[in-house]
Amino acid sequence: MKLDFDNEKSIYLQIAESIEDDIIKGNIDEETQIPSTNHMAVIYRINPATAGKGINLLVDRGILYKKRGIGMFVTIGARKIIQDDRKNNFYERFITTLLEEANNLGIKTEEIIEMIRKGGRSSE
């Protein structure tokens, strides 16, 4: 989990995203428990209601579930849910900003594609 937030988005969204990141990267496995709302509130120095709001967002999306009297757990299949959601948002999140900046700098689409090819090769 990260320890700081930026101004760009509401804190509860960033809490949710940070947990998602950990699930996607495999830092938190499916069927394991996540830190309690209380614990997160103290660590992040935020109002517990805000931490709860972030966690509820993930419960609503079927990524977390509550085990009564124990705490919050990652559902089986959570990783897939997050990946699918993020693939859907990929264009909006990355391509739009990429094209905007490229447009400001006068970079042509072919040049962008070439850059992506180069980047792809080096990471393969």
In the Cβ-directed half-sphere of 26, how many Cα atoms lie within 13 Å? Answer: 0
Using CB under 8 A as the binding rule, whether residue 116 contacts other proteins is answered as: no
Binding test (CB under 8 A) with other proteins, winner from 27, 29, 49, 118: 49
* Residues in a beta bridge with 67: 71
Per CB under 8 A, which region of 38-46, 70-78, 87-95, 115-123 contacts other proteins? 38-46
Tokens of 24: 């996607």
| Residues, the chain | 124
What is the nearest approach in angstroms of other proteins to the Cβ of residue 124?
Answer: 36
Using CB under 8 A as the binding rule, whether residue 48 contacts other proteins is answered as: yes
Closest CA to 44 of 32, 56, 53: 53
Binding stretches for other proteins (CB under 8 A): 5, 7-12, 38, 41-42, 44-50, 53
